[in-house]
Structure 1
Amino acid sequence: MQNRISSFSPIIDNTSKIIILGSIPGVKSLEKQQYYGHPQNKFWKIIFELFHEELTEDYNERIQILKKHHVALWDVIDSCERKGSLDSEIRNEEANQIAELLEEYPNIKAIFCNGGKSYKNVQKILGKNFRIPIYLLPSTSPLHTISFERKFEDWKKIVEYI
């Protein structure tokens, strides 16, 4: 049996206007205990460019930038078994309490899913006609090989809700 892995606590506060949901942290992120900790993942580069902020490697500063721009962050999977970092290797998953979190933070106006696995799971959890819009964004993972420019173009949709 694979080792069971768990996601991190949500990064959210009462000023959050959108939430970005990934699937579950990869190996590097789990090692660092940081969202999007793999150096090749484009998540932080995209976020900092969207908000015209200077990119920093300091994780606490990264979190402060998210909060400053009213962005919440979490994963759709609370825990699962997985070999490596591929979403396709996820087995025996348990969902995070997304609906409950959204009840607790009613200022969230849109859900953005970082990749297909997150999107499919959110639709299963909340239903296709949930009360706030759910958007699929291209995964920021280095395994999703479309260009940075194309990813960034799609991710710009976030700014409309901030």
Structure 2
Amino acid sequence: MSVILQGLAAVTNRDAKVLILGSMPGAQSLASQQYYAHPRNAFWPIMASLCGFSVNLAYHERLVLLRQHGFALWDVLAHCQRQGSLDSAIRHEQANDFNHFLAEHGQLKLIAFNGAKAQQSFNKQVLPTLAITPPRLLTLPSTSPAHAAMSFDAKLQQWLQIKQRYQLNDGST
């Protein structure tokens, strides 16, 4: 039986330039109330490479550095039903309020999807309801350990597009 899951709060500041969206946090992330908490998820090693910080920093320190570098984190879905952690098991999706989020974050240049499911849910649940034109959308390979067909290095090369294409803060703000 699937249970109704509630996502995590957005990690952001008003001058964020890139919003990274997942679909819905996995079971381990929800249990620990931390984005990308599974130890084999490549998200934090990738962001550490992009932003130049140690992946071994405490969770709250990594969040501070992400915000300083112009990143925001959130998920497309506010609620859903899912048994386990796989995106393919997600049912009864309810999206977060992106009209409000985009209105409050006028500096956003990019919404980057962490995997195809996040992009698909956004296109289905969010785009038809938007009153605001969203910034550029970019779908990146999932950092989930379930997406093992692609190596870490190949994922990192795709994620580096964010740094190469968008003027981000150097973290000193």
Coarse TM-score class (shorter-chain normalised): over 0.9
Is 2:149 the counterpart of 1:148?
Answer: no
Q: In structure 2, the residue corresponding to 1:10 is in which secondary structure?
A: coil
Segments of 4+ in structure 1 off by > 3 A? none
Residue aligning to 1:134:
137
Residue aligning to 1:108:
108
Residue aligning to 1:44:
44
Long gaps (5+) in structure 2: 169-173
Kept in 1, the 8 Å contact 2:102–2:134? The answer is: no
* TM-score, structure 1 as length reference: 0.94
Q: In structure 2, the residue corresponding to 1:143 is in which secondary structure?
A: coil
The AA in structure 2 aligned to 1:35 is Y
Alignment of 1:25-44 (within 5 A): 25-44=25-44
Q: In structure 2, the residue corresponding to 1:134 is in which secondary structure?
A: strand
* TM-score, structure 2 as length reference: 0.88
Kept in 2, the 8 Å contact 1:99–1:126? The answer is: no
Q: Distance in 1 between matches of 2:51 and 2:2?
A: 39
Kept in 2, the 8 Å contact 1:21–1:118? The answer is: yes
What is the CA deviation profile of residues 13-35 of structure 1, one whole-angstrom value per residue up to 9, with x for unaligned ones? 11211100000010110111100
Percent identical pairs in the alignment equals 41
Q: In structure 2, the residue corresponding to 1:44 is in which secondary structure?
A: helix
Q: CA deviation at 1:100?
A: 2.0
Give me the CA root mean square deviation.
1.2
Residue aligning to 1:81:
81
The AA in structure 2 aligned to 1:88 is S
Long gaps (5+) in structure 1: none
Q: CA deviation at 1:53?
A: 1.5
What is the CA deviation profile of residues 65-96 of structure 1, one whole-angstrom value per residue up to 9, with x for unaligned ones? 11110100000000011000001101111111
What is the CA deviation profile of residues 90-127 of structure 1, one whole-angstrom value per residue up to 9, with x for unaligned ones? 11111111232011110111100000110112222125
Q: CA deviation at 1:55?
A: 1.7
